Structure formats: structure tokens, C-alpha cells
Structure 1
Amino acid sequence: MHLTSINRGDAERLGNRKSKTGIFKRPIDEGVVITQTGIPHDAVCNKKHHGGPDQALYLYGEADYDFWRRELGRALPPGTFGENLTISELRSDILAIGDLLQIGAVTLQVSAPRIPCSTFAERMAEPMWVQRFRAAERPGVYCRVLQGGPIAVGDEVSVVPYSGERVSIVQMFRDFYQKSLDDATLRRYLALPIAIRSRSDYEAQLAQRPTG
């Protein structure tokens, strides 16, 4: 498994929206130095839902891209889905929360699945895109940066499985759409190194439950 593209975006307008978005990522030729907040000079406009140390980088795999190329019948160059790193054999259905990805000296930790939003749908301009993306269960992964450093296209990528309980990224993706998760499931997630946005949501759900 290797790094096939490094993608970075500027703040741009999408359609008639007043606010700008950083979803338009384009491959860059040179290597970059990964930091705790991701790729330097990569635009993150909606900081309520995107970016931050726990979701510093979004990764998508060529295997999942190949599925969408067949499904949509069109070219999808690296960066189309707004990912920072495109990786040759990365598969959403195999990775789990807490898994480590090693790229040279850089260590990333899987923290969350990508949840499709209206910005993503408008960028793709495909009918029922959010529903189709959900049904396909190929969300890609967000990662936090445990160890930064230089990376370049062609670098080998290896996976170190999480040493604790394994919960697949696809399972977390499915559970996002459940109206309510039971206490045991919420505590199960809270014991994992999930992203802060999910952690805050699950903690709030537990806090609202009766304790008697």
C-alpha cells in the first residue's frame, strides 16, 4: 500500500453559497511536512464540522475510488472527495477506530468516518448523493496526527492494528445514522480513541439518560 496523491485546497466559493469551502482539493507535486493540524496551507473553512487535531487529515483509498468510478461512469481524479491523502489499497471496510497508519516517520491514528454533508453533495452534483454515499459504506477515514514529518507521493503506507477492542470504521459510520444508541454501545465508543466531535455527542447522549 502506498501514497498515490497529496491533495491541498484553497478557500473557494461553491455555487451560489456566500461562504467559502475547502472541499476543492488538488494534487500537489512536491512533498509536504505533516503537522498536528494536517497539511500546511490547506483550507478548512467550516471549523465546526471539519479540521482540528482529531480530524487533521482525511484519507480515501483508490479501491473505493474505483468503485465510484464504475458507479458514476466518470473520471474521479485524486482530491475529488476532498481528501488530503489518496492511498492505493486503503479500504474503509477493513480499518478500525484506533488503527495506526505509518507513512515514513509520520504516524496517523484513525479517529472517525466521513459523514456526507450538503457541501459534498453540491460539489459532486450527483442525484441523491448523500443517500448513495451512505448506502455504499465507503466513507474513508479521518485521522489525527500522532507524529508529524515529511511525506511524498510513492511513500509506503503500513497499518498497525489497534491493540484494544476493534470497532470498524464502517460500523461507526452505520451507527451515526441510528436514532439512538444504547448505553453499552455509547460506552464502548467512549472507550476508543474517537474524534472529539463524536466523543462530545456520545457523552451528551449518556448524560441525558436516566441514572436511577
Structure 2
Amino acid sequence: MTSPLPRALSVNVARARPRRDPKDAPTGIDKRPTDVISVADPGARRVVDGRGVSGVAADHVGDGRFHGGWDRAVYAYSRAELDLWAAALGRELPNGHFGENLTTDDLDVDAAEVGDRWHVGGAVLEVRWTRQPCATFGEWMGEPGWVRRFMAHGRTGALLSVVEPGEIRAKDQIEVVRSGSGIDLPTVLRAKLGDVDLARRVLDADVYTGHRRQQFLDVLDR
């Protein structure tokens, strides 16, 4: 029996949503499904008019100090993981609820390796980084100890760069071209959180340069 092909089950964008504390910048965590998104390389992470820069047109990025930029241009999370959390929490979790631009189907996002390329719709995306959730996510979910619980699960989705710009529509198939780097996203997450052995493994794989590589060197220096 032929396995179903991976696809972008839903494509999602956010409008600015006020935070609980009005002094905080509006957030882009509340992403909602739309028919099509246009993706392009947003360049370096930066703050423009008080917000960050997304790789997805019309998508709001609240805090440009920590979100957005070329290696966090698009965020993907799998529907299967959302379903597991929905069952665990006893509540509905619609596509986009974890702040993802792409909700994938029949694709194990967290098994992706750094450098894998996804050909989807008219665009090519590359797996670059892994999400480390923040207090905004915890506030949005409203679940006690949510950030700690989500991190402990260790499957936090994929942050991707845009190699070739284009449009992506809901239900577009995803063709994965493996990089062979051997560094999957849970490894990156545990390494940057302080696992020395895994930090060495990431460094030996030579998949990062610049400040990203420095993060793993800093783990070794602690």
C-alpha cells in the first residue's frame, strides 16, 4: 500500500493580537488558516516599526529581537503532534494554534534534519532551526507549566529559511530532499539547552556558522 504524500494541510498567518499586559508588544502567536501564503527571504532578524520580519507576507511577528529573520522565516508544525496535544489537554487545537505558518500532514516535522529542503507549492524551504517556546506561548495556551511541559516533550517543530520564494497553498504536496546532515531537530534543541555531548555532535557536523555555531561553543564553555 502506497504511503500518503506529505502536504501542507493548512497555511496560516497572524494579525497583531494584544498581550495581556498592554505595555507588551502585540504578538503574532494567533495564526489563522488562509487559502495561500507568499514566502520570501526576509533577510536578517531585526525590528522594523516596532515588530519583527517574517518570511510570510502579511504575517505579524511581534518581538523582532527573538522572532523572524532568514533562519526563522517560516514555522512548521505537524497536525499529528497537534492531535496528540489536543488529546492530552482535552481541548480542540485548530490548525495554526501553536503559531505555525505550515500545519503539515503525513510529515514527521521533528524528524527533519538541518539542511533538509522542502519543495512545496512554488517555494523551496530549508530546515534551519528549532523552536524554543517563550512566555507569550504559555500565556496564549493558558495551561499551567505549559512552556516547561512543551519543552520536556522535545518536539517543538521546524523553523525554515526560504531558498526559493513562491506561493504555498493549503493541500500543496511537500517533497522532502534529505540533506544527510544527521542532525535532527530534537538533537539541536537538547544541544542548545546544554547537552554537551550533543553540542559537540552538532559542531562536528558543521551545519551552523556565525552566532548559531557560537551558541553550541558556549555550551561547551559553561
1:47-90 per-position Cα deviation (integer Å, ceiling 9, x unaligned): 11110011100000011111111111110001110011111123
2:41 to 36, 54, 58: 36
Which residue of the partner structure matches residue 8 of structure 1?
A: 13
Matched residues in 2 for 1:14 and 1:97: separation? 33
Greater shift, 12-21 or 42-51, is seen at 12-21
Q: Which amino acid aligns with 2:94?
A: P
1:170 to 186, 197, 217: 186
2:31 is matched with: 25
CA distance in 2, matches of 1:125, 1:177: 24
**Number of residue pairs aligned between Structure 1 and Structure 2:** 204
CA distance in 2, matches of 1:198, 1:87: 26
Q: CA deviation at 1:9?
A: 0.8
Larger mean Cα displacement after TM superposition, 117-126 or 30-39: 30-39
Residue matched to 1:59: 76
Mark the runs of 5 or more structure 1 residues left unpaired by the alignment.
Answer: none
What are structure 2's unaligned runs of at least 5 residues?
1-5, 43-54
1:59-208 superposed matches below 5 A: 59-163=76-180, 165-178=181-194, 180=196, 184-185=200-201, 187-188=203-204, 191-193=206-208, 198-202=212-216
**Residue 130 of structure 1: CA displacement?**
1.2
**AA at the equivalent of 2:125:** L
Shift of 1:108: 0.6
Identity %: 33
Q: Secondary structure at the match of 1:13?
A: coil
Is the Cα contact below 8 Å between 2:127 and 2:161 reproduced in 1?
A: yes
Secondary structure at 1:46's aligned position in 2? coil
- Rate the CA distance shift 1:47–1:160 in 2: closer, same or farther, 3 A: same
Instruction: Report deviation, 1:39.
Output: 1.2
* Structure 1 residue ranges, 4+ long, deviating more than 6 angstroms after superposition: none
Deviation readout 1:165-186 (Å, 9 max, x if unpaired): 3111011112222165687335
Normalised to the residue count of structure 1, the TM-score between the two structures is 0.87
* TM-score scaled by length of structure 2: 0.83
Asked whether the 8 Å contact 1:34–1:149 carries over to 2, the reply is: yes
Note closer, same or farther for the CA distance 1:34–1:63 as it changes in structure 2 (3 Å cut).
same
Q: 1:136: Cα distance to partner? A: 1.4
Q: Is the 8 A contact 2:183 2:202 kept in 1?
A: no
Structure 1 position 45, deviation (Å): 1.8
CA RMSD of aligned residues (A): 2.2
Q: Structure with the greater relative contact order (CA < 8 A, sep ≥ 6): 1 or 2?
A: 1
SS at match of 1:12: coil
Question: Does the Cα contact within 8 Å between 2:109 and 2:158 map onto a contact in 1?
Answer: yes
Change (3 A) 1:182 1:57: closer
